[in-house]
Amino acid sequence: MYHGGWWSLIRADESKGKAKIDRALLLRISRYARPYWAYILTVLIAIILISLIELIPPLIFRRLIDVVIPQKDFRQLTLLALSLIAIPILSGLIGIVERYFSAKAGEGIIFDLRQEMYDHLQQMSIRFFTHTRSGEIVSRFNSDVVGAQNAITGTIPSIVTNLVTLTSTLIVMITIDARLTLLSIAVLPLFLLPTRRVARILRDIRRKAMEFNADLSSLISETLGINGVLLVKTFGRQQQESEQFRKINQNVRDIGVRRALVGRWFFMGLGISGAIGTALIYWAGGYLVMTDVLTLGTIIAFAAYLTRLYGPISSLTNVQVDFATSMVSFERVFEYLDLPIEIQDKIGAKKVKSVRGAVRFKNVSFSYGNEDGKSQNEVDFQTSTSIADKATNIPDIAQRLALKDISFEIEAGELVALVGHSGAGKTTITYLLPRLYDPTNGVISLDGLDIRDITQKSLVDQIGMVTQETYLFHDTVRSNLLYAKPDADRDEIITACQAAHIHDFIQDLPDGYDTVVGERGYRLSGGEKQRMAIARVILKDPRILILDEATSHLDSRNEALIQAALAPLMEDRTSLVIAHRLSTILAADKILVLDRGQLIEQGNHKTLLHKRGLYAELYETQFQDENLTVS
């Protein structure tokens, strides 16, 4: 049985999520920064040095105007001019150092964050992936992690820089003239008043934009992948899919336009506020110069500092907006990191190096959801935030029990055939044994040991699966085979392929074993892919074999080759086969007959025929037409 909150996150409406930027969120982000404290400290020192150095030019201007030029001191004029050249050079060099260490820290944090999320999702059960769009997952790794990266490498350093600049500038301005300084900051409320509202609006816009981009990524991955393209073309749905893409694309466009307009109005307000402050300073300063209270050089220096005052204030108000919106990225990444892992190794779980292969199901029941029409987590977390499968409107197709109190035993080395109508629970049994799911009730044991007391890695090392739909990576034949045993040598690969009757075919490919098979192996036929899968399992050499023997869609030659490849594969192994052929059923030591999640018959072929039950019915309707002699 699965527990935790991820199911509720998947099923609820994400747009209702209003996660807050609080101390806990900031502390959590800071924990990722701890390994890079030396880089961050270097960045802070560099920022302070740059801010202090850039305070010097206005003071040079004041001295030039009030002292050096009136006194016609050419030597000092030269020194000050050279200083004006040296200051940006020094500031720029320190800025390069600051940017280097800022990037090292930021990229390092994002690397850790992305790696942790990938490692975490690798541990999620199949249930998570069957309820989550692939485009949504890709969006988390791309858009959201990049957004978090911008916060680390851009927004946060900008906050520190502007705070230091603002503070140091105010100190110098107060030492020059406290009255003008007070007048300068009098317009500060004009900067701050709209900030909170704009931050909230842009935060909501950012979250919606991420959702729309996730929708876009999902549609692209679903309809422009090879499987999706084939489906669209064979049903002639290009126009409908284009219209669907247009609607989502329009959402992305419209939210982008809205974000741009809100930002533009905001910056216009900041610009007007700065202009008002500058006008006040020149008006009041000009009066003080006319009355001989201040010198002209002082006013010019003060005006120069105004840029350093209002610039950081504008940036800080905008940074508040940027920070609020960038935190959405962290929230969405943390939503994935907080998903509970449904299937985990127990503390003290055993590593098994070899097994005999005796399998037992005892009173096993399993549900993909809940019989009352809701998953258990939907009952417990109906108001939770969603993170995946948003707006797909896909109903939960498995609220009933997929298996009901199943019990059977398989002796080591036996061949057991699973038969039954579609949806009877055959595939579910094959998923439970390698712990792709855990049973809702009951115990599955291997050699008398509960499989939940065995480490998942050592369990799957003992099991080989050949599924009906073979998956191959967009890589070479050799790499796809080595996925089963990375340290296999050339002779082992060739031996496995010969046993699978695929070696000669591979040899005839343009680059032999170095030929790239294409997306999902679509350069190969169905039979060739299935023989590749068999060769891969032979290379793994598992003690237990799980096989979905689907060969009805293949031509007779490929079917014969696959049957020939399966014979040595099943020899001396415990084999659990979803049988589609009478020859496999006749060879089986035991036949398990399933109907609507229940085990209703078990035995050998003759015994089950004499019972005149469901097996006899299946034999007469599905298998007898193979015209094989039954002894």
**Domain coordinates in residue numbering, the chain:** 6-337, 414-440+452-626
Q: Does pLDDT of 395 surpass 60? A: no
- Entry field: residues in the chain: 631
- Judge whether 277 and 312 are in contact, CB under 8 Å: no
Confidence of residue 230 (pLDDT cuts 50, 70, 90): low
Residue 555 carries which side chain, given as an amino acid letter?
Answer: D
Counting beta carbons within 10 angstroms of the beta carbon of residue 590, is it exposed (0 to 12), middle (13 to 18) or buried (19 or more)? middle
- In this predicted model, what pLDDT tens digit does every residue of 174-203 receive, in sequence order? 888 888 888 777 777 766 666 666 767 777
Q: Does pLDDT of 3 surpass 70? A: no
Q: What are phi and psi of 416, to 5 degrees?
A: -115, 130
Phi/psi region, residue 620 (left: phi>0; alpha: psi -120 to 50; beta: rest), is: alpha
Q: How many CA atoms lie within 13 A of 276 on its CB side?
A: 14
DSSP codes of every residue in 472-483: --SSBHHHHHHT
Q: Which residues touch 86 (CB under 8 Å, ≥6 apart)?
A: none
- In this predicted model, what pLDDT tens digit does every residue of 71-119 receive, in sequence order? 888 888 899 889 989 999 999 999 999 889 988 888 888 888 888 988 8
Class of domain 6-337: mainly alpha
Alpha carbon of 448 to those of 327, 362, 452, 574: distances in Å? 50, 11, 12, 15
Q: Output the pLDDT for position 602.
A: 93
How do strand 574-578 and strand 590-595 relate by DSSP bridges? Answer: unpaired
User: Domain 414-440+452-626 sits in which CATH superfamily?
Assistant: P-loop containing nucleotide triphosphate hydrolases (3.40.50.300)
Strand order in the sheet with 359-367: 401-410, 359-367, 441-446, 449-450
Confidence of residue 295 (pLDDT cuts 50, 70, 90): confident
Beta bridge partners of 545: 464, 575
Mean pLDDT lowest for which of 246-260, 360-374, 434-448? 360-374
Query: What gap in Å lies between CA 449 and CA 462, rounded to an integer?
Result: 14
Query: What gap in Å lies between CA 112 and CA 110, rounded to an integer?
Result: 5
Q: How many CA atoms lie within 13 A of 294 on its CB side?
A: 22
Alpha carbon of 176 to those of 32, 308, 361, 503: distances in Å? 42, 15, 85, 86
Question: Average pLDDT of the chain?
Answer: 79
Query: What gap in Å lies between CA 111 and CA 189, rounded to an integer?
Result: 40
| CA nearest neighbour of 362 among 295, 329, 407, 317 | 407
Alpha carbon of 295 to those of 65, 69, 301: distances in Å? 9, 14, 10
The residue with greater pLDDT, 230 or 254, is: 254
Residue 631 carries which side chain, given as an amino acid letter?
Answer: S
Query: What gap in Å lies between CA 171 and CA 55, rounded to an integer?
Result: 10
